Amino acid sequence: MALVACPTASIGTSPRRSAREAVDAFPEAIVSNVRFCGFTSEASFGAWSYLIVRPEEAGGNVLVDSPRFAAPLVRQIERLGGVAVMFLTHRDDIADHARFAAHFDCPRVMHQADGAGGLGIERVTSGEQAVAIGQDLVCIPTPGHTRGHQVLLYRNQVLFTGDHLAWSPERKRLIAFRDACWFSWREQTRSMERLLGYRFEWVLPGHGRIHHASADVMHDLLAECVRHMKSQV
């Protein structure tokens, strides 16, 4: 599975063996109906992307950020019901977004401040106010890593954080990447603090590690992250 997911095909096996089982394993279930797409793209620096599998009456499937447009992955997504909406957290991790949008005829959601207008994005968000996307999804602008970065909250349970927030197993806490903050650390700190007003149990980042904890524990971890970020402003 690591071989299949690698954005630069830098991983191999000895002796060589078929990767068929690994290919069919993606999108891989993480929690409930949320899946990791694998097939990361070098164009997105190997960033992770996710698929939320929902029935049509709930609005259909949501692809969060863009994996590589690989035929085996596309076929598996088709079997799972396709893509109704594509959510792009920020401009760094868009990879093959245009190919996915064309293939599945799905609108893309992206923030105006990250150049959505120049990319032909169908649903352009703006400002810093959270926006509901159906009954179970909330788009939350989080400027900092980039000017138009945004995260996606699903069912008050799963937070798709792009390059805004991730788990560090070495430090055993939630972190932001100051050395990869392309717009403003001060703004990212302020955005992080606003997330304290939301409840979630899972952090699913584009870069960094996934983490799961109770909503109360996650809130405490996020508060610790904010305190640490403020000390670095």
Which residue type is seen at 45?
Answer: F
Tens-place pLDDT, residues 187-210? 999 999 999 999 999 999 999 999
Q: Which two tokens stand for residue 59?
A: 């609005």
Position 79 scores a pLDDT of 96
Name the nearest CA neighbour of 175 among 213, 128, 211: 211
Which range among 16-20, 74-78, 130-134, 151-155 shows the weakest confidence by mean pLDDT?
Answer: 16-20
| Percent with pLDDT over 90 in the chain | 83
Going by their DSSP bridges, the two strands 123-125 and 108-111 should be labelled as parallel
Task: Name the residue ranges covered by the structural domains of the chain.
Answer: 2-231
Q: What is the arithmetic mean of pLDDT over 132-148?
A: 95
Position 10 scores a pLDDT of 73
Distance CA 97, CA 68 (A): 9
Residue 129, burial from CB neighbour count under 10 angstroms (0-12, 13-18, 19+): exposed
Distance CA 77, CA 39 (A): 12
Cβ neighbours of 233 (radius 10 Å) = 10
Position 26 scores a pLDDT of 87
Distance CA 52, CA 164 (A): 20
Question: Are 23 and 4 spatial neighbours (Cβ–Cβ below 8 Å)?
Answer: yes
Q: What pTM was computed for the model?
A: 0.92
Distance CA 1, CA 139 (A): 30
3-state SS, 77-109, equals: HHHCCCCCEEECCCHHHCCCHHHHHHHHCCCEE
CATH architecture of the region 2-231: 4-Layer Sandwich (3.60)
Question: Are 111 and 149 spatial neighbours (Cβ–Cβ below 8 Å)?
Answer: yes
Distance CA 192, CA 176 (A): 9
Tell me which of 12 and 110 has the higher pLDDT: 110
Distance CA 230, CA 123 (A): 33
